[in-house]
Amino acid sequence: MPRGLRTTLGVVAFLLAWELLGRWSPWGYDVISTPSRIAVQYWRDADLYALHISATIRSAALGFLIGNAFAIVGALLFCRFPSVEAMFRGVNIALFAMPPIVIGPVLVLVFSGDWPQIVLAALIVYFPTMAAMLVGLRDIDPRLVDVVHLYGGKEFALTRFVRLRSSLPSLLAGLRVAASLAVLGAILGEFGSGVRWGLGTFLLGSLGEANPARLWGIGLSAAALAMAGYGLFDWIGTRIGGATTAVTLAAARLPDQIAGTGRIQPAHRVALLVVAFVLPFVLWKLLLVATGLSPIIAPGPVQTVLYLFVGPDAASERQIMLQALGQTLPVACLGLVCGLAAAFALAALSVVRPGLVKALLPGALVLQSTPLIAMVPIILLIFGRGVVASTVMAVLVVFFPAFVLLAQGFALVPRAARELVDVYGGGPGKQLALISIPFAAQYLSAAAKLVAPRALLGVMVAEWLLSGVGLGNLLNVSRGTLDYGTIWAGALISILISIAAYQSVGVVERMVRWTGAS
Amino acid sequence: MTASLVMGVEQKPERRDKPRDGIDLTIERVSKSFSGAGRTVQALTSIDLRIVRGSFVALIGPSGCGKSTLLRIIAGLEKPDAGVVLIRGQEPEKFRAGGELGIVFQDPALLPWRSVRRNIALPLQVLGQSVRANEARIAELIELVGLSGYAKALPGQLSGGMRQRVAIARALVTDPSFLLMDEPFGALDQILRRTMNLELQRIWMARQTTALMVTHSIDEAAFLADQVVVMHSAPGRIADIVDVPFSRPRAHDLFANAQFHAVCDRLAAALDAGREGRA
């Protein structure tokens, strides 16, 4: 059977099964709805969708352009001047690890109109594009550097003739991820900004209605939008060539993987570390000075810290924060561990059943770039609004990217090492235990670093939209009551926790590492 | 010591425009050490070497004897800790400024997105020279290295040997008077390697450059070179210089020649002396 026909038949069979289950199973109407109901609802809402989707596309596209412009200029700058990269390390890690949803309410205080969504989309796309391009710019054949130098070419000639073009496949892989993230950023921004139009607004307004078909429609639209962006740059990437597995891995770069090589003096290194730590706060302060906002609405870094420690309300404020953290963090940790474990187990299956993982990988590749927002309606309909829903949300946002990375890690196990076990008569079990699992375990820490911030984000989104507890809810409530101090302090604490989670995986990694390579 | 290292063989084929005598390369007391991971390695110690204009010199030695480092120092890609390197009386950076130096590595290091023609043109672009004005020369070079009909091919469509020919053509595009090669055929199999050696001899004779080639292979050194410089390691130093007196052009029947084997044996013995010295 030709491949196209098989795919069509598969899709038809899937829709048919969904329709039948939706019509005759006990949870039909309330949970899984049916394709026909979703389609009919979509048709009725067509005018609304046109307005909401076009608003989201506009914000996402503008944010995509702005964020990627910064990312490309940043990558060029960081490649040319490693010390600048060292200075911006704090900013880069913060942008990588921040849960974007906490930035939304802050941006609403600083910007007006559609700009909070646009800026959030820009902030969210910056890191993956910058990291992918920087790796592409740096990762060139050292002999080519020699050739250019031999003919008197300096860094400019090297960038012009070698670096720029050779970074292109990597940049396109970054843009592919950025395109779907821009949609997520715009939608998360709409939650906080309360604009009239946008898929985020539509979702927020529909969560309370008993209309599962509409919720499904919104989730599918968000997913389709993100995949369209992903597909566009995937298509461009394949046209230009070089969109390989290696490039897919490059799109999941971590801040410490783009850290420059040590040509910097130890004394300078300490100074740069201090700058790296202080710079995010300086930029924060500068932004506030530039916008000329009242310190009551938009406090600077020092005031925000003082808010939690000085003043009559500081103690109760701390109490509220700690309580929210106590609700959020355990769920995020649980989701992270379960998601990683499931991803590792499924990826390990590739040793025993290579066909299965090969079949699942393309799906996971696409799903890892589906905005977690698209999952919210489904999770609400299936798991309700409790802790289970938050945990499932965290597991899902963790699982797909971790699985993609780990499956590729298992694929990199040297064949000779596996065949060695074969030669001595060891079966797949021995091979797994002795070779593949120890080898692929090194990718586990990379996967954990990549997804730890996402686990926190997943839980906070679920708290904000569904469960009404924890840090996500606290920020949503403070936004409603204009509790400026809590908005800023909550955002700062969330970002610091994300960075701490990221760094602590690094510490564990260094303790158990067996390989010299990073 | 230095005087004894002056080499020259007056059996070159006729040269058209370039002077036949004179010293092209002078290396005096060059040392280089690398430090890292808490220890310092003496890569080269007090190297003295002279190379006569128009000759073909091979540099042979065990891994880690610093022969590639020496080549990079001559190319001005690495600075020596001490000592002097002069090519025609000039420092390498100055000498190479007009494209007088060509270099070929073990890895062809081509730009995968550029056609053969445009890969060969890269040095001209870096030098800021017009590519269009040199189209005829590029076409001529493509023919010289035996790649006629492949001008528009991408490196990914070529075999390993063909890619290395592109790298050689790229090194020749500026019409250099000095050609440096760092194990240019190290990644090729023995059969292809011998063919490429013949090709290289033909190209070198046609272009009349001075050539310095780093190699691991005793065969290759004895087949191609007028002189073979034997290096020992730890620390990297010149142990011996062996003249190879066969007339040119040399053909593959040289491999069956008893005199050729005598030269190879002598080179092997010179290399072995270093190993015993270390033990």
Quick check: is B81 in a domain?
A: yes
pLDDT digits (tens, 9 = 90+) for B9-48: 444 444 434 444 688 899 989 989 887 767 788 888 888 9
pLDDT digits (tens, 9 = 90+) for A323-345: 999 999 999 999 999 999 999 99
Q: How far is CA A325 from CA A318, A462, A477, in A?
A: 10, 14, 15
Helix (H, G, I), strand (E, B) or coil at A114: coil
User: Which residues does chain B have within 8 Å of residue A152's beta carbon, measured at their own beta carbons?
Assistant: 96-97, 126-127
What average pLDDT does the segment B188-199 reach?
Answer: 86
Nearest in space to A190 (alpha carbons), one of A156, A225, A216: A225
Chain A touched by B126 (CB under 8 Å)? yes
Chain A touched by B269 (CB under 8 Å)? no
Distance from CA of A237 to the nearest CA of B (A): 14
Specify the pairing of strand B56-60 against strand B227-232: parallel
pLDDT score recorded for residue A125: 94
Residue B7 pLDDT grade (very low, low, confident, very high; cuts 50, 70, 90): very low
Quick check: is A10 in a domain?
A: no
Q: Higher confidence at residue B215 or residue A422?
A: B215
Dist CA A104 CA A85 (whole Å):
26
The answer to whether residue B279 scores a pLDDT higher than 60 is: no
In terms of domains, do A233 and A304 share one? no
Quick check: is A66 in a domain?
A: yes
Look up the domain containing B40 and give its range: 18-98+212-279
The answer to whether residue A258 scores a pLDDT higher than 60 is: yes
Which of A261, A277, A294 is at the close of a domain?
Answer: A294
User: Which residues does chain B have within 8 Å of residue A163's beta carbon, measured at their own beta carbons?
Assistant: none
Amino acid at B209: T
The DSSP 8-state label assigned to residue A467 in this structure reads: I
Look up the domain containing A321 and give its range: 299-518
The DSSP 8-state label assigned to residue A243 in this structure reads: -
What average pLDDT does the segment A401-427 reach?
Answer: 83
In terms of domains, do A303 and A431 share one? yes
Quick check: is B11 in a domain?
A: no
The answer to whether residue B95 scores a pLDDT higher than 50 is: yes
**pTM of the full structure:** 0.83
Whether residue B77 and residue A157 make contact (CB cut-off 8 A), yes or no, is: no
The number of domains in chain B is 1
Whether residue A143 and residue B174 make contact (CB cut-off 8 A), yes or no, is: no
Q: Mean pLDDT score of chain A, rounded to an integer?
A: 84
pLDDT digits (tens, 9 = 90+) for B199-239: 889 889 988 899 999 998 999 999 999 999 999 888 888 88
Quick check: is A166 in a domain?
A: yes
Q: Higher confidence at residue A428 or residue B120?
A: B120
* Cβ atoms < 10 Å from Cβ of B157: 12
One-character DSSP codes across A146-202:
HHHHHTT--HHHHIIIIIHHHHHHHHHHHHHHHHHHHHHHHHHHHHHH--SSSHHHH
Instruction: Give the CATH number, domain containing residue B78.
Output: 3.40.50.300
One-character DSSP codes across chain B:
-TGGG----S-PPPPSSS-S-SEEEEEEEEEEEEEETTEEEEEEEEEEEEEETT-EEEEE--TTSSHHHHHHHHTTSS--SEEEEEETTB-HHHHGGGT-EEEE-SS----TTS-HHHHHHHHHHHHT--SGGGHHHHHHHHHHTT-TT-TT--GGGS-HHHHHHHHHHHHHTT--SEEEEESTTTTS-HHHHHHHHHHHHHHHHHHT-EEEEEES-HHHHHHH-SEEEEEETTTTEEEEEEE----SS--GGGGG-HHHHHHHHHHHHHHHHHHHHH-
Quick check: is B118 in a domain?
A: no
Instruction: Give the CATH number, domain containing residue A363.
Output: 1.10.3720.10
Nearest in space to A484 (alpha carbons), one of A289, A290, A292, A298: A298
* Cβ contact A327:A470 at 8 Å: yes
Dist CA A445 CA A465 (whole Å):
30
In terms of domains, do A280 and A306 share one? no
State what percent of residues in chain B have pLDDT above 90. Answer: 42
pLDDT digits (tens, 9 = 90+) for B67-82: 889 999 999 999 999 9
In terms of domains, do A105 and A51 share one? yes
Interface test with B, best of A140, A143, A149, A150 (most B CBs within 10 A): A150
Quick check: is B180 in a domain?
A: no
pLDDT score recorded for residue A360: 77
pLDDT score recorded for residue A241: 64
In terms of domains, do A375 and A493 share one? yes
pLDDT score recorded for residue B65: 85
pLDDT score recorded for residue B19: 46
Whether residue B126 and residue A151 make contact (CB cut-off 8 A), yes or no, is: yes
pLDDT score recorded for residue A72: 96
Which of A259, A278, A294 is at the close of a domain?
Answer: A294
User: Which residues does chain B have within 8 Å of residue A171's beta carbon, measured at their own beta carbons?
Assistant: none
Quick check: is A418 in a domain?
A: yes
pLDDT digits (tens, 9 = 90+) for A13-25: 888 888 888 788 7
Whether residue B111 and residue A153 make contact (CB cut-off 8 A), yes or no, is: no
* Cβ contact A188:A100 at 8 Å: yes
B109 → closest Cβ in A147, A153, A161: A147
The answer to whether residue A248 scores a pLDDT higher than 80 is: no
In terms of domains, do A286 and A423 share one? no
Which of A294, A326, A341 is at the close of a domain?
Answer: A294
Phi, psi of B214 (to 5 degrees): -90, 135
Dist CA A328 CA A337 (whole Å):
15
In terms of domains, do A145 and A280 share one? yes
**Could you tell me which residues of chain A have a Cβ less than 8 Å from any Cβ in chain B?**
141, 143-144, 146-153, 157, 161-162, 165-166
Contacts with A, B 90-109, CB within 8 Å: 96-97, 99, 101, 103, 105, 107, 109
Chain A touched by B69 (CB under 8 Å)? no
Dist CA A187 CA A200 (whole Å):
5
Chain A touched by B127 (CB under 8 Å)? yes
Whether residue B77 and residue A146 make contact (CB cut-off 8 A), yes or no, is: yes
Secondary structure, 3-state, A187-210: HHHHHHHCCCCCHHHHHHHHCCCC
Give the CA angle between residues A59, A60, A61 to the nearest 5°: 95
Whether residue B77 and residue A166 make contact (CB cut-off 8 A), yes or no, is: no
**A-B Cβ pairs (cutoff 8 Å, strict):** 49
Residue with tokens 């062996």: B242
pLDDT score recorded for residue A338: 94
Chain A touched by B6 (CB under 8 Å)? no
A161 → closest Cβ in B101, B103, B122: B122
pLDDT score recorded for residue A27: 67
Quick check: is A17 in a domain?
A: no
Residue of chain B with shortest Cα separation from A149: B77
Chain A touched by B174 (CB under 8 Å)? yes
pLDDT score recorded for residue B89: 87
Whether residue B77 and residue A144 make contact (CB cut-off 8 A), yes or no, is: no
Quick check: is A14 in a domain?
A: no
Interface test with A, best of B104, B126, B163, B182 (most A CBs within 10 A): B126
In terms of domains, do A344 and A440 share one? yes
Specify the pairing of strand B39-52 against strand B23-36: antiparallel
* Cβ atoms < 10 Å from Cβ of A50: 11
Chain A touched by B82 (CB under 8 Å)? no
